[in-house]
A and B are shown apart, each in its own frame.
Chain A
Amino acid sequence: MDFEVIKSYIPLFAEAFLLTIKTGWFGIALSFALGLICAFILYFKIPVLSAAVKVYVELFRNTPLLVQLFFMYYGLPILGIRVSAEICGIIGLGLLGGSYMTESIRSGLESVPKIQTESALSLGMTKPQLFRLVILPQAFAMSVPAIVANIIFLLKETSVFSAISLMDLMFTAKDLIGLYYDTTESLFLLVVFYIIMLLPVSILGTVAEKKARFKIYGV
């Protein structure tokens, strides 16, 4: 392994790293918002919309991100809609993640015992108050581990972005290998940058998980 090569590649990887983080976190934010809305729809069994959400979840959970991205990147222009690779990546990740987040948040909501709803109502709370003050905090405490797992999974999924020529970490590594045959150095940097990206998430996630659960369960 040539450390001079590694040193010279660092700026390129750093740039790709920032792009990966940016698209990754935008996608995750989108997936979370989507998941929250869809989980509410399922939890409240809103007619028609519930059925639509179920179709959406099954469609996106059961197809690879790569296929979804190809569809958007190469399919949409046929319909006259042209989107940049970056936007395409964010939307693709958001839609895929949304289906996972929906299920994680829904299971948290459904884990809150019915007696909590009844006691809140019998105290005169309105439905929005009941939801905001009683159900949601408990549901989140239950969902945190699943949400953290989803976030880590989605950040790793960004490696697929290289297929639609978004210059993320994976693209940069493949590019450099193709151009200069510095395979070892490129792969080494790829691993290092992914770990730099994910380790803090993993650690913070564990802390958040402990904090959320401790209040309620004491462990």
Chain B
Amino acid sequence: MLAYKLFVEISGETLGELTVNAQRYTMEEILKIEHLKKSFDDLTILEDINLSVKKGEVLVVVGPSGCGKSTLLRCINGLEDIQEGKVILEGNIINPLVDRKSKYREKIGMVFQSYDLFPHKTILENVMLAPLKVQKRKKDEVKKEAEQLLDRVGLLSKVSNYPRQLSGGQKQRVAIVRALIMHPEILLFDEVTAALDPEMVREVLDVILDLAKQQRTMLIVTHEMAFAKAIADRVIFLDGGSIVEDSDPTSFFTAPKTDRARKFLNTFEFEKVH
């Protein structure tokens, strides 16, 4: 708790302005992507992607639709096969997967754009299912942690509800908790607020900001530029299947190096009509 307070003081974060801080992460590399190539038949989606993510780092991936952002995340957790290169998590190659029994997926938490909770299970069951069945943990311990985590995102009162009874923002918060309870080394967020109303967007983003403060390693694909600016340690700009820019958020948002990035950022600005 003292460490947390200290960190809050040093980082000088203010909740109202959505600022977190920089330089929280250690130098320990956790995820490495080397020369990754992904294609569907003749169509190349990702070309020669090289990326290194350090423990505790928050990486935001931005880019126009169809640039391969989502595919990149899906290649990392093995939902997509890759054609060339490799994805390495903590020194182990996880894609292409050599050891089929590898438990790497537990180490990578993923939250999707569309609500992906299990509709036939209650909120508590949704959260507890994987730790019980995949990690074979004890029920009491899992239940306690599930309730703690749900409480943290303000949803403890919903434990016995079904997903259909929740709003979009609430569902996404549960999805985040469901990923967290597996104690992943890295969290992937694939446009998790794209289908939400503005107020709900904020409630979900606040949860993610909270995670950044807990020094979680995260890869976030988003179209929320203000949020990206606030949370990112590094911004990756992806266009046409390759990394066009890889820089700190301040320089990316104020002085992008390439025309493509400038053009992309301009799509979020509006000129005054009157």
**B78 shortest CB reach to chain A, Å:** 8
Using C-beta atoms within 8 Å of the partner chain, give the interface range for chain A. Answer: 20 to 34
Known A119-B112, A123-B182, A124-B134: A215·B120 in contact at CB below 8 Å: yes
**B154 shortest CB reach to chain A, Å:** 22
**A218 shortest CB reach to chain B, Å:** 5
**B137 shortest CB reach to chain A, Å:** 12
Chain A residues near B120: list those with CB within 8 A.
137-138, 141, 215-216
Question: Does B105 contact A118, Cβ atoms closer than 8 Å?
Answer: no
Known A121-B79, A215-B162, A216-B164: A115·B116 in contact at CB below 8 Å: yes
Question: Does B165 contact A218, Cβ atoms closer than 8 Å?
Answer: yes
Most buried by A among B78, B103, B120, B179: B120
Chain A at the B interface: mostly helix, strand, loop or mixed?
helix
A134 to B134, CA, bound (A): 13
Known A115-B112, A123-B130, A124-B103: A218·B77 in contact at CB below 8 Å: no
A216 to B126, CA, bound (A): 13
**B114 shortest CB reach to chain A, Å:** 5
Chain A residues near B87: list those with CB within 8 A.
none
**A122 shortest CB reach to chain B, Å:** 4
Known A123-B105, A123-B130: A218·B116 in contact at CB below 8 Å: no
Question: Does B105 contact A124, Cβ atoms closer than 8 Å?
Answer: yes
In B96-130, which residues have CB < 8 Å from any A CB?
Answer: 103, 105-106, 108-110, 112, 114, 116-120, 129-130
Q: Mark B119-148, 1 if CB is under 8 A from A, else 0.
A: 110000000011001110000000000000
Q: Does B178 contact A (CB under 8 A)?
A: yes
**A97 shortest CB reach to chain B, Å:** 26
Q: Does A180 contact B (CB under 8 A)?
A: no
Question: Does B134 contact A129, Cβ atoms closer than 8 Å?
Answer: yes
Using C-beta atoms within 8 Å of the partner chain, give the interface range for chain B. Answer: 20 to 34
Question: Does A218 contact B162, Cβ atoms closer than 8 Å?
Answer: yes
Q: Mark A113-132, 1 if CB is under 8 A from B, else 0.
A: 10110111111111001000
Question: Does B164 contact A116, Cβ atoms closer than 8 Å?
Answer: no
A121 to B134, CA, bound (A): 10
Q: Mark A194-219, 1 if CB is under 8 A from B, else 0.
A: 00000000000000000000011110
Q: Mark B72-93, 1 if CB is under 8 A from A, else 0.
A: 0000011100000000000000
Chain A residues near B117: list those with CB within 8 A.
119
In A114-164, which residues have CB < 8 Å from any B CB?
Answer: 115-116, 118-126, 129, 133-134, 137-138, 141
Question: Does B116 contact A118, Cβ atoms closer than 8 Å?
Answer: yes
Question: Does A122 contact B108, Cβ atoms closer than 8 Å?
Answer: yes
Which residue of A has the minimal Cβ distance to B107? A124
Question: Does B119 contact A125, Cβ atoms closer than 8 Å?
Answer: no
A124 to B103, CA, bound (A): 7
Chain B residues near A115: list those with CB within 8 A.
112, 114, 116
**A140 shortest CB reach to chain B, Å:** 9
Chain B residues near A113: list those with CB within 8 A.
114
A129 to B134, CA, bound (A): 9
**A175 shortest CB reach to chain B, Å:** 49
A134 to B182, CA, bound (A): 18
Question: Does A121 contact B119, Cβ atoms closer than 8 Å?
Answer: no
A66 to B227, CA, bound (A): 69
Chain B residues near A215: list those with CB within 8 A.
119-120, 162
Chain B residues near A141: list those with CB within 8 A.
120
Which residue of A has the minimal Cβ distance to B165? A218
A141 to B119, CA, bound (A): 11
Which residue of B has the minimal Cβ distance to A129? B133
Query: Which residues in A have some Cβ–Cβ distance to B below 8 Å?
Result: 113, 115-116, 118-126, 129, 133-134, 137-138, 141, 215-218
Q: Offer 27 A-B interface pairs, CB within 8 angstroms, sorted by A.
A: A115-B112, A115-B114, A115-B116, A116-B116, A118-B116, A121-B78, A121-B79, A122-B105, A122-B109, A122-B110, A123-B106, A123-B130, A123-B178, A124-B105, A125-B134, A129-B134, A133-B133, A137-B120, A138-B119, A138-B120, A215-B119, A215-B120, A216-B119, A216-B162, A217-B164, A218-B162, A218-B164
Supplied contacts A115-B114, A129-B133, A218-B164, 11 more A-B pairs, CB within 8 Å: A113-B114, A115-B116, A122-B109, A122-B110, A123-B182, A124-B105, A125-B130, A129-B134, A138-B119, A138-B120, A217-B164
